[in-house]
Structure 1
């Protein structure tokens, strides 16, 4: 199929006709910027073929804002050696005409003939969708959909298989499908699609499992019954033996013997506690006696220490008395130096005060001078400010009223323009010397008059003409003009002006006065932030301050001698004061030390005499002798008690009381456990006898025999169905493998064309297709050897390249089967890098030698090396 001419009119942005003619049989490159109409051309071709001419769901073809448009498309193309001409109009005056080799078709007949030719179908209702587009939907790639090839192949699958049938004949025949379907139906009675049992086969499987489980449960019950019989015999023998031997009584006897032995050890422990208590009391008494002895020894040591302390105190007092006169003289000298420094500071301060008064008086006079100047300026600004404010208040202008006046003026001008536009226009062209009278006004020469109301035109020598302009709009405009004019005049009168221009000048003057007021207020704020009255008060305050300073200056007497530096005088005073403080401190410290040393000497003398009298007392010496005797006796008693406690502890340790306690607990627990076990055995014997009697009456062995017979029958039937299911499954597998072999032969022509294009992009690569001829696994050389993956897992750009290669292979297959092909690519391969794009150009150029290709793009610079002249869509629109 070769498209030769395309013409469209009143379709989307192409309100005026646009014709694209002289299309070549191979590659055609049409370019233009975004929004130039490339996608509109593609939509026009699709509408011409896919949309019913009577469809009301093609409003997207209508130009924006033009509800009366009738979009039309004309196509001239050659197919199978025959010329075809298609003319189609939508929405308004709907038509469809088709000329084929001199024969004419129209309406739905023409549309059905096109659908049979190209291999697509129309939508039952509404707009056409991609699922109806068949072969063209596969070969005509919309913008941004080049990577989506799976759905397009699925929608065109029947047409592709039909083309293969025409190529391969009986290989593509479905004669063996009936056998496969029959085998599948019989297999489906026994197995699911995943090979699991169903129907009677599944029911027998479940029944077999259930019966086997029940039989297993019966076997367990029989085995349990036999084990209970064995358990009953064993329990009877053990119960009778324990009843005769009574082992718990022997355990209680052993428990009693252990308890008697433990009570004897407890008596030993009580005796040991009493001896230990006596030992502790003896040790405390001995410790107390030794402390008393140590206190006596400490008193002797203290007497020696007091003698040494007394000698040291006497030496300290003598030394301090020697230094007393030296410290007193130094303090008196420091006092005289301090008094002299204070006198010098007083004189320096008086001199500095005189200097400060001179400076303050000079500074105050300067401030008074500056303040007087500022006060003079402030009074002048204040007077100007008051005068300007009075003028502003005397001539106020309402700015809102001015804005309303201007708005009314604009409305009045607009209404005058509107009235002139709709007024009756009287044009006159009179000969020289001739005149007419219009409402008493003479008209001569040539001119125009606008008539808004009834007007009288006098014709000399003939009569009068009364011209009455018609139309409700004119009367309404005239009334509006009168209302606006009246409002305009009233606003001028209320504002006391003759025109908006005069009011504007008054507004400008008012704004200038406002700016002057603001400027004067700013100057006043900078000179007198708190007002002129405050400045005057400050002037008066500074004057009083100046008089006071001058009085103080006169009060100060002349200071004789050279001027002194106050800093030097204060530094000398600080040094003298520091020396005086140090001298006072030393004197005070010396007095404190002398008093403390004298007091310490008296205390040491008293303590030494007291200790000496106590130590020389005869009663104290007798008490010390008695204390030594008591200490010796207490030591001997401690030794005896300690030996007795040690021997008793050895006796207790040899008896091991902790083991006796464990034996008592062990024998008690053993007796209780043996007696409790004997009682439990009696209860278990009674329970087993009762259970055996009840189960013996159930006939478990007869039930097991009956259950085994039922299971054998079910197993035999289940085995028959299993063998049948396995046979049908095997037969279906063999048939399907045979069918797959035929399918591979069916896919071979398409695989040949795919490999032809794929080798350019990926040498030695292979792209598999499934039973529905949809591309699936891609195998190619990678860094780690051969790599295989799904096409859908590739990048966006690679999927777009695989989609175009697949479409070109389908086109070759269709052409080989004698079916028409036309390839339309709208802005495709925009996500390809430079290297891949160069390879895809080679593929496109090769395909264009067998098919007509319409390539629309907004990047013509990417396709300069295709060997074809590009066609500029913008230039076509200008030409048309």
Structure 2
């Protein structure tokens, strides 16, 4: 089967017609990004073949939001050496038309032809499902389902077996099947489907096991009984021997001897501790006496140090006194510089004060002139404000009353218009000498009147004509006109105007006066923010401040002659004074530091002299010599006592170590535990003797050996019945295996053509590997070297690859049997690594020599070396939009 052309319209995202033609008989690589429509085209092909045209369960084909759409699919393809043209529409325009060469089919007949061609079934109700898809469901791989092949093979199994039978002939035997089924039925009476015993066979096996467990239990209890008898004899012998020997009494005697030795060692340790305290006290006394002796002997050294310190303090004092004149001169120079800088600051502040007063006089003079001008303008604006207020008072009018007046006038005009519409119209055109009179008013030449009331027309020489206007609304119209005219007159009188326009003119004049008032107020506020009185007060205050500033300027001291030429600003003068003050402070601080140094060094000299004199008197005193002699005598006596005490301690320590108190303590603990253990062991023997005697009496009453003999007899009887069924089961199992092996040999002969194609593709992907198919033609056991397993145990990518090569093998089998094939792959092999993908490209290129393959992908760069020109869906869509079908 070769698909040549595909067209979709009003189907999902393809609202406008989309055409993909010139499809090649081998590989066709169709690519586009996600959501470009690849899966939609695959769904369209499936719908064209699998879905009933009359079904209403294909809403997924409808473009989003378009309830009036009629998804339409057109296919042109070659099959069985004929040209096929299929057009199928769904939903709003349900139709199916099929043309095979020049023969046309429609509706159900057309769909049956498609089902017969490709080997699938239509769903009886609702949308098509995988179990209906048959061969196309096996060869058309949806996105993300390449690794799932078992169900697809199962749904296409009948068609595959039919193709195999057409190749190798009918090798199965129905008679053999009946025999296998009979044996399997007899075998099933004794075994479950998993090969476990069932029924009587299982019951006898369980009884046999139960009897054996009871016998084993009784035998164990008999053996235990015998062991207990032996144990009773041994325990009785041990108990009597221990009761006579009483070994714990010897342990008690040894315990008392160990305690006595340990008490003697404890006394020695107490004496040792007491004499160690005495030795420690003597050592402390010796250390204190040595410190006193060293302190007294150090006075001579201190006397030499004090002499050197006194001479050093005297020299430092003389050096400090030599710097006193220089320090006094620095202070005097700093004071002079500070006084000069202070005078400069005073002159600068005086000059700054006069400059400020001159600026204040100028500012206040300018401010006084400005206030005078503003006062004049304020008085002028006040006069204009009074005029505007008077104008507003004269033209003030009630706006609501004016609105009512205008409404009345409008109503009157509307009534006049209405009256003219329904009034009796009198028109005339007289001869030059003719005369008429209407209600006593002469009429001349030509004219027109509208009459609302009864009127009389006088015709000289003829008489008087009475005119009575007609119409249902005429009387009410006359009344409304009269009422409105009266109301209009009263409203004008109330407002004090003679006509409506006069009232409007007054409103306009009032509004203009109000605007003038607002503008004048703003002008007045600009020159007198508070009021005129406040402005007048500000002017007087500013004048007074101006006179005070002038007086202060005249009374301020004039600068010294030549001062203007060398005038310095206050900041610079104050900075100079600050620097002078800093230098003065530094000089004074240096002077204070020098005085402090003098006092410190003089005090140090005096202190050093006093300490030297005091230390000299102390060193040469008789008391000092006597203390040194007493300390030497006492130290010699302490050294003698410490020597004798250290010898005693060493001898006693040796005696304590030889006694080994830690080992004595362990001996005491060991003997105590031995006594407890020996007594407890004897008690345990006595208690166990009583328990065994009671237990043996109870077991002896049960007759264990008699029970065992009965159970042995029952087991032998059960064994005989079990062996009969067991031989039958083994015979049936052997027969079924032989029949099954023969049947499998026939099946392998049937599967040989499929296995041939499968091995061809597998050798390209996994050299030296094998993939076997089961009796249902499903790929199962995979072998590579020493590895053996099922396809389901492989990685996801490997399962996807094995699924694809299996489908290609099925396609080769179908083609060999003369069945049409078409392979469609939607984004498959996305989980393959680089090396495996390269092998799969070789496989696809090889299969394309025998089948048409439509490969849809969103990764065209991975298939650039496939040997075919890629087709871009996006580009075809854009081309279709510029060149509509």
1:6-17 aligned at under 5 Å gives the runs: none
Q: Distance in 1 between matches of 2:29 and 2:261?
A: 121
Q: 1:340: how far off?
A: 1.3
Q: 1:341 aligns with which of 337, 340, 353?
A: 337
Aligned to 1:695: 699
What whole-Å deviation, never above 9, does each CA across 1:53-95 have from its counterpart, x for those lacking one? 6x56567789999999999999999998999999999889999
Aligned to 2:254: 254
Q: 1:213: how far off?
A: 3.1
Q: Distance in 1 between matches of 2:239 and 2:731?
A: 65
1:506-525 aligned at under 5 Å gives the runs: none
Determine whether 1:805 maps to 2:802: no
1:634-649 aligned at under 5 Å gives the runs: 635-649=639-653
Report how many aligned residue pairs link the two structures. Answer: 698
Determine whether 1:590 maps to 2:598: yes
Aligned to 1:221: 221
Q: 1:595: how far off?
A: 3.6
TM-score (norm 2): 0.59
Q: Distance in 2 between matches of 1:296 and 1:51?
A: 127
Query: Greater CA deviation, 263-272 or 557-566?
Result: 557-566
Contact 2:248-2:678 within 8 A present in 1 as well: yes
Determine whether 1:675 maps to 2:683: no
Change (3 A) 1:570 1:179: same
Q: Distance in 2 between matches of 1:339 and 1:598?
A: 35
Query: Greater CA deviation, 154-163 or 555-564?
Result: 555-564
Q: Distance in 1 between matches of 2:877 and 2:765?
A: 30
Q: Distance in 2 between matches of 1:183 and 1:195?
A: 14
Query: Greater CA deviation, 208-217 or 137-146?
Result: 137-146
Give secondary structure in 2 for the equivalent of 1:162: helix
Give secondary structure in 2 for the equivalent of 1:176: helix
Contact 1:800-1:829 within 8 A present in 2 as well: no
Aligned to 1:460: none
User: Which structure 1 segments of 5+ residues have no match?
Assistant: 384-523, 525-532, 816-820
Aligned to 1:738: 742
Q: Distance in 2 between matches of 1:548 and 1:799?
A: 116
What whole-Å deviation, never above 9, does each CA across 1:851-876 have from its counterpart, x for those lacking one? xx9999999x997799xxxx999999
Q: 1:226: how far off?
A: 1.5
Q: 1:29: how far off?
A: 9.9
Q: 1:663 aligns with which of 655, 662, 667?
A: 667
Q: Distance in 2 between matches of 1:3 and 1:318?
A: 126
Contact 1:361-1:546 within 8 A present in 2 as well: no
Q: Distance in 2 between matches of 1:202 and 1:750?
A: 42
Q: Distance in 2 between matches of 1:20 and 1:577?
A: 104
Aligned to 1:557: 559
Determine whether 1:330 maps to 2:336: no
Q: Distance in 1 between matches of 2:98 and 2:106?
A: 6
Change (3 A) 1:112 1:691: same
Contact 1:130-1:152 within 8 A present in 2 as well: yes
What whole-Å deviation, never above 9, does each CA across 1:1-27 have from its counterpart, x for those lacking one? 999999999999999999999x99989
Q: 1:125: how far off?
A: 2.9
Aligned to 1:309: 306
Change (3 A) 1:355 1:200: farther
Q: Distance in 2 between matches of 1:44 and 1:70?
A: 13
Q: Distance in 2 between matches of 1:789 and 1:268?
A: 89
Q: 1:582: how far off?
A: 2.1
Q: 1:171: how far off?
A: 0.6
1:251-400 aligned at under 5 Å gives the runs: 251-270=251-270, 272=272, 290=289, 295=292, 298-299=295-296, 301-302=298-299, 305-306=302-303, 309=306, 313=310, 315=311, 326-350=322-346, 353=349
Change (3 A) 1:664 1:121: closer
Change (3 A) 1:683 1:352: same
Give secondary structure in 1 for the equivalent of 2:702: coil
Q: Distance in 1 between matches of 2:662 and 2:18?
A: 119
Q: Say what the alpha-carbon RMSD is for the aligned residues.
A: 6.6
Contact 1:235-1:685 within 8 A present in 2 as well: yes
Q: 1:590: how far off?
A: 0.8
Determine whether 1:51 maps to 2:55: no
Contact 1:18-1:877 within 8 A present in 2 as well: no
TM-score (norm 1): 0.59
Q: 1:739: how far off?
A: 1.7
Q: 1:229: how far off?
A: 1.4
What whole-Å deviation, never above 9, does each CA across 1:708-736 have from its counterpart, x for those lacking one? 33334444544444444344333333322
Change (3 A) 1:151 1:659: closer
Q: Distance in 2 between matches of 1:64 and 1:319?
A: 113
Q: Distance in 2 between matches of 1:297 and 1:762?
A: 101
Aligned to 1:153: 153
Aligned to 2:777: 773
Change (3 A) 1:41 1:333: closer
Change (3 A) 1:719 1:830: closer
Aligned to 2:732: 728
